[in-house]
Structure 1
Amino acid sequence: MPIQTLSVRDHVRRTITERILAGVYQPGDRLIELQIARELGTSQGSVREALRELEASRIVETAPHRGTRVRTVSPQEMRESYLVRGLLEEAAAPMAAKAFKGNAEQLWNECDTIIACAERGELSEQAAHNAAFHRMIVAASGNGVLLRLWDTLAFETRTRVQLSRPKADPVGDAKTHRPIAKALENGDGKLAGRLLREHAEFFAPPADAPQSESA
């Protein structure tokens, strides 16, 4: 029975997160437990548990007399999340390189998908596969603590309500993943780590950037 409850909670949490990333729920929108429970055909308790986990990950926030709402991420916080993510990925790279050396087919497939999405102008899909590419690297390190820390930042770096970046080049941006994949395939964790950190630093938006919808 506890396993079943956990499975339902995880499903609810993933669904709410994906709706936020897809822009169905916008920053500031109130998330009503009963309404979500009816939509998903589950109990209000399962929704409440899922929202508590999302609050712990700082995806939503709860305030007295206002209920639970989607968090509005400030430009400064967005920038900081990118920089921290880069450091986490740099730490994961040496261990991930051992796993990917001569065996990086899945990584290359994800890399090619990112580029294909960019070429088709599917920016939301590009953002999702970009997150999958980076998460795959951290997961390959085998370090559960690094992965959990990375997961708490993933929302803020994947969200569709992104910060504007001057002269954005989705296809060019997508291709920057190739050198990272190559370094990992060659087992060069030090190079891969440096590339991952520089990648995050490059895409970290300026703290004073205006918010706009992007990927």
Structure 2
Amino acid sequence: MSTAETSTGSTLLERATLGTRVRDYLLVEIANGRLAPGSPVRELDIAKRLGTSQTPVREAFRELAAFGLLEARSHVGTRVREVGERELAEAVPVRAALEAVAAQLAAPHVAADPSRLEAALDELIRVASLGDRLAYANACTQFHREFVRSAQNDSLLRAWNALGIEIMTIMTMLTNSEPLDAAAQGHRPIVEALASGDVDRSVAIVNAHVAAYIPGATQPPVRSVPG
């Protein structure tokens, strides 16, 4: 048996994918109010409901707890935690700061070869046409990850990934009514700015784009870092 297989023959990749699907299921239930703040959630119950083992459910619980959507207390168990608009908004300047640095570092690389970011935009627009907000949220995350990856800075990418961008994006898309076509097209100026190689323009557009993720969120402009 290879190290990439479990005793049941399932691969580690399959397990990871299943954990993501369980996470997305729970996000939809929370966003739609079917799992309201304070509601208890039990690994065994969710596993039985979805017809899976407790391992991917446990992975999903850990990820959602790290983002603050679930909380576990001794003698009480795991419950859905209420996350207010202010708490979500507080993540905006952190994300904006990281993506501003990414814009500065990525601009010359994207200007030299914009094909990967253009392909990510094309995929985002394609998924938007399907009308599936969850699928769109995942495609949107992949677009932004490709943009940050274009900076070619592993430390920056790790810091960005640590923010839980997938969860942030899914919750945003499931709780607003912005047309998906318009949302997808809103990413085009990012590609155009980066492809032009204009660092200041790229940073300004990325900063405005991230600030708009949460209605009512405000923040000062994040300027490019020196050097």
Coarse TM-score class (shorter-chain normalised): 0.7 to 0.9
C-alpha distance after superposition, 1:11-55 (max 9, x if no partner): 45423322134447745343322234454643x466445533442
C-alpha deviation, 1:75, in angstroms: 0.7
Identity of aligned residues (%): 30
- Compared CA separation, residues 51 and 91, structure 1 to 2 (3 A): same
Q: Which residue of 2 aligns with 1:189?
A: 199
* Distance (Å, rounded) in 2 between the aligned partners of 1:46 and 1:127: 21
- Does the CA contact (< 8 Å) of 1:9 and 1:49 recur in 2? no
Aligned to 1:212: none
Decide which of 13, 21, 42 is 1:15's aligned counterpart: 21
Alignment correspondent of 1:132: 142
Aligned: 1:156 with 2:204: no
Farther-moved stretch of structure 1 (4-13 vs 145-154): 4-13
Q: Which residue of 2 aligns with 1:213?
A: none
Distance 1:107 1:190 in 2: 19
TM superposition score normalised by structure 1: 0.73
Larger Rg: 2
- Cα 1:101–1:19 shift into 2, 3 Å: same
8 Å Cα contact 2:23-2:61 kept in structure 1: no
2:97 to 54, 65, 87: 87
Aligned amino acid, residue 125 of structure 2: I
Could you say which residue in structure 1 is the equivalent of 2:220? none
Q: Greater shift after overlay, 77-86 or 95-104? A: 95-104
CA distance in 2, matches of 1:184, 1:2: 41
Q: 1:103/1:118 Cα in 2 relative to 1: closer, same or farther (>3 Å)?
A: same
Give the secondary structure class of the aligned counterpart of 1:101: helix
Give the gaps of 5 or more residues in structure 1.
Answer: 208-215
Larger relative CO (CA 8 A, sep 6+): 1 or 2?
1
1:171 pairs, out of 176, 181, 186, with: 181
Alignment of 1:1-215 (within 5 A): 7=12, 10-23=16-29, 26-28=35-37, 29-38=39-48, 39=50, 41-42=52-53, 44=54, 47-48=57-58, 51-118=61-128, 121-151=131-161, 152-154=163-165, 155-159=167-171, 164=176, 168=178, 170-206=180-216
Aligned-CA RMSD value: 3.4
For the 8 Å contact 1:13–1:51, the answer to whether it is kept is no
Q: Which moves more between the two structures, 169-178 or 128-137?
A: 169-178
User: Which runs of 5 or more structure 2 residues have no equivalent in the other structure?
Assistant: 218-227
Counterpart contact for 2:172–2:213, Cα < 8 Å: no
Residue 82 (structure 1) shift: 2.5
Whole-Å Cα distance in 1 between the matches of residues 3 and 40 of structure 2?
A: 29
C-alpha separation in 2, matches of 1:141 and 1:93: 7
| Equivalent residues of 2:103, 2:199 under 8 A apart | yes
CA 1:22 to 1:50, structure 2 compared with 1: closer, same or farther past 3 Å?
Answer: closer
Q: 1:147 to 1:75 in 2, by over 3 A?
A: same
Report the Cα distance in structure 2 between the residues aligned to 1:95 and 1:179, rounded to whole angstroms: 17
Matched letter for residue 23 of structure 2: T
**Are the structure 2 counterparts of residues 45 and 173 from structure 1 closer, same or farther at C-alpha, using a change threshold of 3 Å?**
closer
